[in-house]
Amino acid sequence: MKRSNIVKLAALVIYIVFLVVSFLLDYSPGEEIARNFTSFSLDMLKIIPGAFILIGLFDVWVKRETVEKHLGDVSGIMGYVWAILLAGATVGGLYVAFPVAYSMYSKGARLNVIFTYIGAAAVCRIPMTIFEASFLGITFSVIRLAVSLILVIISAILLGNYLKKKDYKISDGSR
């Protein structure tokens, strides 16, 4: 086992022991931390398994050539359009977008498109934006969306081009 993993495991054990002891002694900060942990875990359980099943299906059914054509080096501007549409339909948050991004990458999507997808998944998920507009007004949402999306695309192109020269690779999540 790697040293960093041993440290993580030790921290996790201390964390669990702390929570258990907190419950035994009615120590309220510990109890609240435990409640935070379970409520966020449950929220994510509503999304994560489904998301990974779709990722698995994507992997076996979608041909590499299809991804290369629409999101790869030859995709042109349409690659960005697809990335943004896909991002708009992403549910959950960035923790779902990262594994999806890896799947796209492993099938031959280019870095510029992937970073556009990640950024767009942060700023323009459709249900979130509608919700935002209902509380802060449509004007606010439209300006926020337009400015952030333009800057996301520009930064994705700069970052993608820079990393391409550096022979950069996205990992499968095991590092």
Partner 1 sequence: MYVIAGLALLASFIANRGKTLKALKIAAKRFANILPAFLVMLVLISIVLFLIPDEMISRYLGTSNKSVGVLLAAILGSITLMPGFVAFPLSGILLQKGVAYTVIATFTTTLMMVGVLTYPIEKAYFGAKVTILRNAVGLLIALCVAVVIGIFFGEIF
- Footprint of partner 1 (CB under 8 A): 5, 8, 11-12, 15, 29, 32-34, 36-37, 40-41, 43-44, 46-57, 59-61, 91, 93-95, 98-99, 101-103, 115, 118-119, 122-123, 127-128, 131-132, 134-136, 139-140, 143-144, 147-148, 151-152, 155, 159, 163, 168, 170-175
Shortest distance (Å) from residue 141 CB to partner 1 = 10
Shortest distance (Å) from residue 96 CB to partner 1 = 9
Residue at token pair 């498109």: 113
45 vs 74, beta carbon nearer partner 1: 45
Shortest distance (Å) from residue 66 CB to partner 1 = 16
CA-nearest of 55, 82, 53, 57 to 67 is 82
88 vs 148, beta carbon nearer partner 1: 148
- Residue 28, burial from CB neighbour count under 10 angstroms (0-12, 13-18, 19+): exposed
23 vs 40, beta carbon nearer partner 1: 40
Shortest distance (Å) from residue 146 CB to partner 1 = 9
